[in-house]
Amino acid sequence: MMLWRQFAMEWRLYSRDRAAMFWTMAFPVILLLFFGTILGGGDGLKLSVVRVQSQAPGPRDAALDQALADLQLKVQALPKAEAEARWSRGETVALLEPEGEGYRLRLNSYLMAQAGATAGLVNQAWLVAQARLSGAPEPLRIPAQVESPGRKRATNYASFLLPGLLGLNLVSMGLFSVGMVNVSYREKGKFRRLAVTPLPKWIFLLGQVLHRLTVTVIQAGILLLVGRLVFGIQNQGSFLNLLLIMTLGTGCFMAFGFALSGFAETSEGYAALSNLVFLPLMMLSGIYFTLDAAPTWLQHAVAVMPLAPFVRVLRAVFNDGAGLAGHGLGLAIVAAWGFAAFILAVRRFRWA
Amino acid sequence: MTDSALRIRGLRKAFAKVVAVDGVDLEVARGEVFGLLGPNGAGKTTTFEIIEGLTLADAGDIEILGLTWARQGREIRSRIGVQLQSTSLFNKITPREALDLYGSYYPKRRDTQELLELVQLVDKADAYHITLSGGQQQRLALALALVNDPELVFLDEPTTGLDPQARRSLWDVVRRMKGEGRTVVLTTHYMDEAEALCDRLAIMDHGQVIATGTPASLISDLAIPSVVELTFDGDAPDPTAFAAKLGQAVERRTDLWEIPTPDPKALLNHLLEAAESAAVPFLQVHIRRATLEDVFLHRTGRSLRE
């Protein structure tokens, strides 16, 4: 009864904070819609090259243009002066200019990920163009096939992103809704006011935890619904497994927030500390992109952080319908972090 | 059951750099309004926090309503009311909700409406806490301290930061508590508040109780119940030479001299003569009764506000 009253009061006060509520619920959805759309469908982001127009276009130029177009590369043909001006403004990824008997390709050192891929395509087009000009047989290509890792189905970037956002929500719930709030309660003396009443403290904390849990469930529900309605994403695995994983993650990251709140004296200190934890977790845990190309040591380091294994298991179940059997190690890493954080939270947590 | 509401023996608490409470003994009778008077940093709040169970003492015994923290913590919490120096509530909770919520923590509770009337917050009962004025927030904190119909109430600087009118209305509430038979223990650094509200006082400085008694007895225990003041236009001059000539201690305050005396009438003639012959450029002469401020000054050599 006491617990229910605490829980109901948490919800009542939370529902009055419209801005906080809107952002908790809407922000993940906005991320999903935005990135899912611009990076999502087949031709979302085309690679592009700026091509300096030849003084006197010949058959060689025509053949290259045709080959570039065949490869779906976006080509912008510009006069030399204009192309040069664009290059120096830094807006060009790759600049293709005629030179002597052939061409020269300049790649923007700031944008090497895109420029590298573009250079590959341009060279491929040039090989094809040369073959066509000399009447030789066209070079053969290796056939490529798009499919999801678990071979369940071939879907889009939004399905990659959605489980990552589910994981990220849990982290921000733990670090900010739990950790930050507790530091500010301690700092402002809300805990002290409670401590002089006979209310058992665990009832207050449990009421708070249950409130955050229901918020998380609603948040995940909204995200799944939007994913399904807008991108046609559906859970491919068993809902029971999904629930088990989410429960484990919620416990782990909530304990994380409690533990971290014991290491800061003030809200300002906690804001710095939590961002120090949150930003690397967000950037390096394979939420938005994979770390395949990162240095091996970094990949190893990230694999033993809590979020990356969590998101990997979540993705395997959600996108590829995997069971939990093959993911014991990942689940164990998350559980170990959760356990360590819980122990630390119990030892470091302070009311005043 | 003892007849003391609160009994403290040899209380001590040291922090890393300072001994905050240094051997405090106190005894408060039931039904009494008892004040802890002292400047900021005297150890009043730490003493309160130990009594309220928020801080552990290094040494000393505390008996609250005949109960001890070690064995009857929950019962103590149920029977005392506490107003902390600053009461932080949720921004968007209303007084009515806060009183209902905190009331629900106790086995015995007072009616919310009755409390709202007591602290004159009926009009603001459904306004968000963040929209209340400082005085209204303070009155709500006072109502929260009464939510469990406590026998013993602790108020830590209940009127600090309030305007004179808000202070008066808080004083009325404290007097009504006494009228209802509650024991009230409060801290303050306002001597007028201590004189107006308290049956008995303990004056604290540097973590120690330096005097205990009724306000009247504390003042009359001073051998010098009156003070003659000479006021100046601007800063008062150095009184050393004049004091030697007068044969009497003269204290310099910012724009006046204070001369404590047991017999103001006899001093006055002598003083005016001396002042005239030394050509002291004073503006006015006042004679006033000694106050708790003078008691404090006399005992510590410092003013309460310093």
Spell out the domains of chain A, with CATH numbers in brackets: 2-39+156-348 (no CATH), 48-134 (3.40.190)
pLDDT given at position A154? 53
**CB–CB of B76/B50 below 8 Å?**
no
pLDDT given at position A40? 64
What residues of chain A lie within 8 A of the CB of B78, using their CB? 198
Question: What are the φ/ψ torsions at residue B211 (nearest 5 degrees)?
Answer: -165, 145
pLDDT bin (cut points 50, 70, 90) of residue B169 is confident
**CB–CB of B148/B110 below 8 Å?**
yes
The answer to whether residue A43 scores a pLDDT higher than 80 is no
The shortest C-alpha distance from B56 to chain A (Å) reads 12
Average pLDDT score over residue span A256-276: 92
Pairwise CB contact (< 8 Å): B101 & A188: no
The answer to whether residue B236 scores a pLDDT higher than 90 is no
pLDDT bin (cut points 50, 70, 90) of residue B81 is very high
Could you tell me how many residues make up chain A? 352
The neighbour count for residue A56, using CB atoms within 10 Å, is 6
Residue A204 CB partners (closer than 8 Å, separation 6+): A6, A194
pLDDT given at position A150? 65
**CB–CB of B42/B211 below 8 Å?**
no
Architecture of domain B4-214: 3-Layer(aba) Sandwich (3.40)
The neighbour count for residue A24, using CB atoms within 10 Å, is 20
Pairwise CB contact (< 8 Å): A199 & B105: yes
Q: For a pLDDT cut of 70, what percent of chain B falls above it?
A: 97
The shortest C-alpha distance from A205 to chain B (Å) reads 14
**B165 touching A (Cβ < 8 Å):** no
CA angle A312, A315, A318 (to 5 degrees): 150
Residue B203: alpha-carbon gap to chain centroid: 9
Q: What is the spatial order of strands in the sheet that B59-64 belongs to?
A: B19-29, B4-14, B59-64
pLDDT given at position B267? 85
Q: What is the pLDDT of residues B238-292, one digit of tens each?
A: 888 888 888 888 888 888 888 888 888 888 888 888 888 888 888 888 888 888 8
Q: What is the pLDDT of residues A18-27, one digit of tens each?
A: 888 888 888 8
Architecture of domain B223-289: 2-Layer Sandwich (3.30)
Whose CA is closest to B41, among B60, B17, B63, B20? B20
**B282 touching A (Cβ < 8 Å):** no
Q: How far is CA B61 from CA B27, B64, B153, in A?
A: 12, 10, 19
Residue A141 CB partners (closer than 8 Å, separation 6+): none
Average pLDDT score over residue span B186-201: 90
The answer to whether residue B106 scores a pLDDT higher than 60 is yes
The answer to whether residue B225 scores a pLDDT higher than 80 is no
Average pLDDT score over residue span A218-246: 90
Determine the 3-state secondary structure of A81 from DSSP.
Answer: helix
pLDDT bin (cut points 50, 70, 90) of residue A153 is low
pLDDT given at position B164? 87
Q: For a pLDDT cut of 70, what percent of chain A falls above it?
A: 96
The answer to whether residue A80 scores a pLDDT higher than 60 is yes
Q: What is the pLDDT of residues A89-101, one digit of tens each?
A: 988 899 999 988 8
pLDDT given at position B48? 93
**CB–CB of A50/A94 below 8 Å?**
yes
Mean pLDDT of chain B: 89
Question: For the packed helices A157-172 and A267-284, what is the interaxial angle rounded to 10 degrees?
Answer: 160
Cα–Cα distance between A113 and B199 in angstroms, integer? 81
pLDDT given at position B187? 93
Question: What are the φ/ψ torsions at residue A84 (nearest 5 degrees)?
Answer: -65, -40
Whose CA is closest to B140, among A232, A193, A82? A193
Pairwise CB contact (< 8 Å): A193 & B106: no
Cα–Cα distance between A202 and A207 in angstroms, integer? 8
pLDDT bin (cut points 50, 70, 90) of residue B83 is very high
The answer to whether residue A139 scores a pLDDT higher than 70 is yes
Q: Where are the domains of chain B?
A: 4-214, 223-289
What residues of chain A lie within 8 A of the CB of B105, using their CB? 2, 197-199
Say which DSSP state B122 is in. Answer: G
Average pLDDT score over residue span B129-145: 91
pLDDT given at position B135? 86
Could you tell me how many residues make up chain B? 306
Same fold, B4-214 and B223-289: no
The answer to whether residue A112 scores a pLDDT higher than 80 is yes
Of A16, A189, A199, nearest to B88 by CB-CB distance is: A189
The shortest C-alpha distance from A341 to chain B (Å) reads 26
